[in-house]
A = this chain, B = another copy of it.
């Protein structure tokens, strides 16, 4: 193995507690109507909305102009009537909240493990996000990547084979020289079918967990 690719949302960063905490903190500074919202459930619903949107993305053709902020924003707006939050958040609030995904914390083991592994392997996320999102996340959560593979860089969405194969091609490595790490079985199954080595990480929030 010469390189290790990581799924990020759920595998490297703890989106569930991160989004919940940021929503709670934002609510404390705003309208009293926000105090009765269960923000953990809200965060999980937001993530479910993203999965539902993702299911509609094309698998067998290139994705141009992918912007995860736009997807997160649309999913957020769908939750507003469900949680009876009309007229509570301003346009600026909605923009700010959409950006919360850029500032997630890593799981406690993530940053130390990445710092150790990078001494021996090329390390990159392989994430259904955008380059800017992953840069902001890397800065905020101290994730020392060598390179970043995201949907707007490789024009594909996991588990499309072209995502994994383009990452391998850009690394000038064969799939068997690359270890794919994820907390999602579907992600590893797709990589393994292409000849990648795989490593499953169990996280409480993924694969049957809250999100």
Residue numbers of A with Cβ under 8 A of B are 122, 130-132, 135, 138-139, 146-148, 152-153, 170-172
Contacts and interface: CB of A to CB of B under 8 A. Distances in A.
A172 B150 CA distance: 14
Given A122-B135, A152-B170, 15 more contacts: A130-B170, A131-B147, A131-B171, A132-B170, A132-B171, A132-B172, A135-B146, A135-B147, A135-B171, A138-B146, A139-B146, A147-B147, A147-B148, A148-B148, A153-B153
Nearest to A170: B131
Nearest to A133: B172
A172 B139 CA distance: 16
A157 to B, nearest CB: 16
A146 B148 CA distance: 8
A97 to B, nearest CB: 17
User: Per DSSP, are chain A's interface residues mostly helix, strand or loop, or mixed?
Assistant: helix
Contacts of A132: 170-172
A170 B136 CA distance: 13
As for how many copies of this chain the complex holds, the number is 2
19 contacts: A122-B135, A122-B139, A130-B170, A130-B172, A131-B147, A131-B171, A132-B170, A132-B171, A132-B172, A135-B146, A135-B147, A135-B171, A138-B146, A139-B146, A147-B147, A147-B148, A148-B148, A152-B170, A153-B153
Contacts of A171: 131-132, 135
Contacts of A122: 135, 139
A209 B148 CA distance: 34
Contacts of A153: 153, 170
What 6 pairs between A and B have smallest CB-CB spacing? A132-B172, A131-B170, A135-B146, A147-B148, A135-B147, A122-B135
A185 B24 CA distance: 51
A173 to B, nearest CB: 8
A82 B131 CA distance: 45
